[in-house]
């Protein structure tokens, strides 16, 4: 593992300014430590050895930004992370709150682990074809990555263990094929999913959502941006709809807290009531 970087606060601000000046993309609202690590990771992947060199590459090579955005994105950890949440979705939330024609929004998809998990749960309940799912992602390259639905085999051990905690009655292996060291998931799972690029600051979110699944993404933003994102999400949701964030994320002290009631504290499941 590389040792701690030399990216101090001044270099950090210079990098953010270079991206903003050249591409109009604002990263000033990122959570500091994780974003520094993301920048360092992108530098290692692209063999860039100093922040000056990174800024110069960002400024002179206009195609590099797409690669950079892809390299700084943080993959979702695993499928069926927190199996109890997916059990709760299967047994209670979806039967109670999702109807034919319901809209589901999964914002900021990166590697697609959570999206695939959701589609498997919906298929097992027989409702996948009857709902409209929109999955949005930040980078241009990510749309294709998500559509490919291919995951490194080394991630499958934990995925299988999680799935077995989720379900004793079905086989996870029915959903994918192993090929070239990757697990290719059934493309039919994503057939009806609208996968598109989306940016919280500038774009209009899909509207009238009945379920928004947004787990472990807010952690990468500062509190101010979290509030601004939650305002957009709240406005996009139908009355009585469901919002789910990560088990260690919550809406406490959020500007939008009053719009929700917490209906499952262990799994961070909220219902929009206001």
Partner 1 sequence: MSYKAIIIGGSAGSFQVITKILANLPSGFDIPIFLCLHRLKHVRTGFEEALSIKSTLPIIEPYDKQHIRPGKIYLAPANYHMYMELGNTFSLSTEPPVNHSRPSIDLSFFSAAYTYKNKLVGIILSGANKDGALGLKQVKLAGGVAIVQSPDECQVKTMPTAAMAATSVDYVYTTDQIISFLKRM
The DSSP H or E segment spanning 135 is: strand 132-137
- Encoded one letter per residue, x for contact with partner 1 by CB under 8 A and - for no contact, window 146-185 reads ---------------xx--x--------------------
Asked whether position 25 contacts partner 1 by CB under 8 A, the answer is: no
Residue 269's alpha-carbon distances to 159, 212, 247, in angstroms, are 22, 10, 9
Beta strands at 103-106 and 209-213: parallel, antiparallel or unpaired? parallel
Asked whether position 216 contacts partner 1 by CB under 8 A, the answer is: yes
d(CA 209, CA 147): 22
Asked whether position 29 contacts partner 1 by CB under 8 A, the answer is: no
Question: Where are the alpha helices (H) located in 149-251, listed in sequence order?
Answer: 156-166, 223-236
Asked whether position 83 contacts partner 1 by CB under 8 A, the answer is: yes
Asked whether position 4 contacts partner 1 by CB under 8 A, the answer is: yes
d(CA 122, CA 103): 13
State the minimum distance, in angstroms, from the CB of residue 85 to partner 1: 11
Beta-carbon contacts of residue 62 (< 8 Å; ≥ 6 apart): 22
State the minimum distance, in angstroms, from the CB of residue 197 to partner 1: 22
State the minimum distance, in angstroms, from the CB of residue 269 to partner 1: 15
Stretch that binds partner 1, among 29-37, 95-103, 179-187, 200-208 (CB under 8 A): 29-37
Tokens of 134: 């929109």
d(CA 211, CA 105): 6
Query: Judged by CB under 8 A, which of 119, 226, 241, 256 binds partner 1?
Result: 226
Tokens of 262: 């917490």
Asked whether position 262 contacts partner 1 by CB under 8 A, the answer is: no
Stretch that binds partner 1, among 44-52, 71-79, 93-101, 202-210 (CB under 8 A): 71-79
Query: Judged by CB under 8 A, which of 74, 125, 127, 263 binds partner 1?
Result: 74
Nearest to 186 by CA among 154, 159, 160, 149: 149
Query: Judged by CB under 8 A, which of 146, 149, 218, 244 binds partner 1?
Result: 218
Stretch that binds partner 1, among 100-108, 127-135, 206-214, 221-229 (CB under 8 A): 221-229
Residue 235's alpha-carbon distances to 180, 210, 212, 230, in angstroms, are 43, 12, 12, 8
Helices (H) and strands (E) in the chain, counts: 10, 10
Q: CB nearer to partner 1: give 250 or 255.
A: 250
Nearest to 97 by CA among 214, 190, 212, 268: 212
Nearest to 97 by CA among 88, 107, 106: 88
Stretch that binds partner 1, among 18-26, 49-57, 178-186, 218-226 (CB under 8 A): 218-226
Number of residues that bind partner 1 (CB under 8 A): 31
Asked whether position 82 contacts partner 1 by CB under 8 A, the answer is: yes
State the minimum distance, in angstroms, from the CB of residue 116 to partner 1: 16
Residue numbers of the site for partner 1 (CB under 8 A)? Answer: 1, 3-4, 31-34, 37, 74-77, 81-83, 161-162, 165, 216, 218-220, 222-223, 226, 246-250, 252
């Amino acid at each position: 593992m590389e040792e701690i970087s030399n990216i101090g606060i001044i270099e950090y601000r210079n990098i953010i300014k270079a991206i903003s000046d050249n591409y109009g993309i604002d990263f000033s609202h990122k959570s500091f430590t994780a974003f520094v690590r993301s920048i360092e990771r992108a530098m290692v992947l692209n063999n860039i050895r100093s922040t000056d060199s990174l800024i110069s590459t960002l400024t002179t090579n206009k195609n590099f930004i797409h690669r950079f955005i892809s390299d700084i994105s943080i993959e979702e950890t695993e499928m069926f992370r927190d199996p109890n949440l997916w059990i709760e979705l299967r047994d209670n939330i979806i039967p109670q709150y999702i109807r034919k024609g319901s809209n589901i929004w999964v914002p900021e998809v990166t590697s697609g682990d959570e999206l695939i998990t959701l589609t498997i749960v919906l298929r097992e309940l027989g409702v996948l074809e009857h709902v409209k799912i929109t999955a949005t992602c930040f980078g241009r390259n990510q749309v294709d990555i998500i559509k490919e639905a291919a995951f490194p085999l080394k991630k499958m051990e934990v995925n299988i263990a999680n799935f077995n905690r989720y379900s004793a009655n079905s086989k996870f292996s029915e959903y994918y094929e192993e090929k070239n060291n990757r697990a290719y998931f059934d493309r039919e799972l994503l057939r009806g999913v609208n996968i598109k690029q989306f940016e919280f600051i500038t774009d209009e979110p899909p509207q009238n959502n009945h379920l928004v699944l947004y787990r472990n993404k807010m952690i990468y933003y500062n509190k101010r941006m979290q509030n601004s994102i939650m305002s957009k999400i709240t406005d996009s949701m139908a009355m009585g709809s469901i919002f789910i964030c990560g088990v260690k994320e919550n809406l406490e002290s959020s500007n939008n807290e009053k719009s929700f009631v917490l209906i499952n504290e262990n799994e961070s499941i909220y219902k929009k009531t206001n």
